[in-house]
């Protein structure tokens, strides 16, 4: 599938790094490094704009290496980019470490995954089918 993209950054287009990769890295388009204090968040511009076909979304997700090494992760994750959005993609990055962290221009700050989705129609009812799990949630399926 081909997707229209505008790249207003100085960096190459996001691309799959390996044969089995699901996500493509997004880079920080910054004029200079920024420092995030503990628990501080910042909307990182990427310089990327896209036109997804109807029935697809882009999901912005954290990079595991950035989380493990620096304690930086994405808020609102996965962030959904709808097929009718035409603005610049931003990454809401937060520092969950106990130390200030620096983000460099061009640093890979998140990954983007393109996914197909289904739209549904609600069918109102007064009862649902029963299952072994029932209404159990929040850890109810773990070993006891």
- Burial of 57: CB neighbours in 10 Å, binned 0-12, 13-18, 19+: middle
Q: Write down the pTM of the prediction.
A: 0.88
Q: What percent of the chain has pLDDT over 90?
A: 90
Of 90, 101, 40, whose CA–CA distance to 66 is shortest? 101
Answer yes or no: is pLDDT of 68 > 70.
Answer: yes
Classify domain 4-116 at the CATH topology level. Answer: Deoxyuridine 5'-Triphosphate Nucleotidohydrolase; Chain A (2.70.40)
Average pLDDT for residues 52-67, to the nearest whole number? 97
Domain ranges of the chain: 4-116
User: Which tens digits make up the pLDDT trace of 114-132?
Assistant: 999 999 999 999 999 999 8
């Amino acid at each position: 599938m081909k997707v229209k993209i505008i790249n207003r950054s100085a960096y190459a287009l996001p691309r799959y790094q390996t044969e089995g990769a699901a996500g493509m890295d997004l880079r920080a388009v910054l004029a200079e490094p920024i420092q995030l204090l503990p628990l501080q968040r910042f909307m990182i511009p990427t310089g990327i704009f896209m036109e997804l076909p109807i029935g697809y979304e882009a999901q912005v997700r954290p990079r595991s290496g950035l989380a493990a090494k620096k304690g930086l992760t994405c808020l609102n994750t996965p962030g959904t980019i709808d097929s009718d959005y035409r603005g610049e993609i931003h990454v809401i990055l937060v520092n969950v470490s106990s130390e200030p962290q620096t983000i460099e221009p061009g640093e890979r700050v998140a990954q983007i995954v393109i996914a197909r989705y289904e739209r549904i129609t609600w069918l109102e009812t007064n009862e649902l089918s029963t299952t072994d799990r029932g209404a159990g949630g929040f850890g109810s399926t773990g070993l006891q």
